[in-house]
């Protein structure tokens, strides 16, 4: 494996979660923020579903990172679980809707069982009209450990 600038292997993060939750859009935004030239789809609202893991490499805070944009469809669950076995951390991207928290339940269970460090990103916050606390309560029902809320301004 390639060495990062500080002589260690790159850190790696997998973006996982249900199809349509915004993983690929987030991947593109992260790569752009890191200075990569990203080919965005002509109509970002009609982005084709991801069918294979996309890998991007970038630097952040003087460390090398590999970012894996994973498919959300259950058909590709095997590939996603293989990716989770090798990453340093997973970001579970989910819809901002307590009623849909159950969609990430299998992932949260697997991450707890496999002891993969993870954070949950409540995405599409611009569309959210409910209470983040209610969303956290719903997600907590499926999480393997206590959740702590962090709100990041953008
Ligand atoms: N309103 C809103 N829509 C978003 C956001 N992020 C992604 N989307 C839309 O959600 C849809 C699915 O996004 P995509 O990145 O393909 O999801 P993926 O299947 O998880 O990779 C697309 O129509 C995106 O334009 C967001 O932060 N806010
Ligand atoms: Mg995708």
Extents of the domains making up the chain:
11-140
3-20 residue pLDDT tens: 555 557 899 999 999 999
Q: How far is the CA of 45 from the centre of ligand 1 (A)?
A: 7
Domain 11-140 in CATH: superfamily? P-loop containing nucleotide triphosphate hydrolases (3.40.50.300)
CB atoms within 10 A of CB 43: 7
CA–centroid distance, residue 139 to ligand 2 (Å): 21
Helix axes 77-84, 105-113, angle to 10 degrees: 30
Which residue has a Cα nearest atom 13 of ligand 1?
Answer: 22
> Beta strand pairing status for 54-60 and 63-69?
antiparallel
Instruction: Report the C-alpha gap between 88 and 95 in whole angstroms.
Output: 23
Does the Cβ of 12 fall within 6 Å of ligand 1?
no
In this structure, the number of other CB atoms found within 10 A of the CB of residue 90 comes to 27
Residues 113-143 have pLDDT tens digits of 999 999 999 999 999 999 999 999 999 999 9
Which atom of ligand 1 is closest in space to residue 127's alpha carbon? 1
Neighbours of ion ligand 2 (CB under 5 A): 23-24, 50
pLDDT in tens, 26-72: 999 999 999 988 888 889 888 899 999 999 999 988 899 999 999 99
């Amino acid at each position: 494996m390639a060495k990062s600038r500080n002589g260690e292997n790159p850190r790696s993060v997998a973006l996982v979660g249900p199809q349509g939750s915004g993983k690929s859009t987030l991947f593109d935004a992260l790569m752009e923020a890191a200075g990569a030239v990203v080919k965005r789809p002509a109509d970002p609202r009609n982005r084709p579903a991801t069918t294979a893991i996309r890998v991007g490499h970038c630097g952040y805070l003087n460390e090398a990172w590999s970012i894996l944009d994973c498919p959300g469809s259950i058909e590709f669950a095997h590939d996603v679980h293989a990716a989770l076995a090798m990453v340093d951390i997973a970001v579970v991207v989910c819809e901002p809707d307590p009623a849909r928290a159950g969609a990430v339940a299998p992932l949260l269970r697997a991450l707890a069982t496999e002891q993969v460090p993870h954070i949950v990103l409540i995405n599409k916050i611009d569309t959210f009209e409910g209470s983040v606390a209610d969303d956290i309560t719903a997600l907590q029902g499926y999480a393997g450990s206590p959740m702590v809320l962090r709100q990041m301004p953008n």
